[in-house]
Every structure is written in C-alpha cells, then in structure tokens.
Amino acid sequence: MRHVCTADTDLDELVGRQSEWVGDFRYGPLPRAMKNDEELVLENSRELSAFMLAKVKILIWDLFVVETEERIHPGEHFRLILD
C-alpha cells in the first residue's frame, strides 16, 4: 500500500476520521496496512515534520482508535517504509 504525504498530512489523514454519517469511521492507510498485514510506503515522507514522524513511529507498535474503541497491533508482515 502506498500513501503520498504532503506538509499538511496529519494523523487524521493517516489514521482515519469519522465520516459525516454517524457511526461510520473511515480508516486511513496506517490502520488498514496494519490490519491487512501489509507494507505501507509513505511517499514524500520528507515533507512530514519531525514531530509527525515521531508520532507515526510510536503508533505502529500499538494503535488505539478512539472512535471505534479498537486496539490494532501490526501483523508479522507489516512494514512502514519512509520514502
């Protein structure tokens, strides 16, 4: 899975957000890749701030999605690649 980052990329974009429909959460590329045990390539990751990169690196070990009350752990084959 690939995702193109910009200077405006935030956690909502990578983790997901509540849609306009009540109870409908749209997963971002990070939890989708973790759940599907896939490789996630963050293209143009040099555009992300150091603080944002630190947040992402912490989340890949143990992601809790508040909106769905779901804890997501990476599978054996999940990889995060900063490109």
Give 47-64 pLDDT, tens digit per residue: 999 999 999 999 999 899
> What was the pLDDT predicted at 21?
72
> What was the pLDDT predicted at 24?
84
pLDDT < 50 regions, the chain: none
> What was the pLDDT predicted at 58?
93
> What was the pLDDT predicted at 1?
95
Per the structure, the count of domains in the chain is: 1
53's CB contacts (< 8 A; 6+ apart) are: 45, 82
> What was the pLDDT predicted at 8?
95
Domain of residue 34, residue span: 2-82
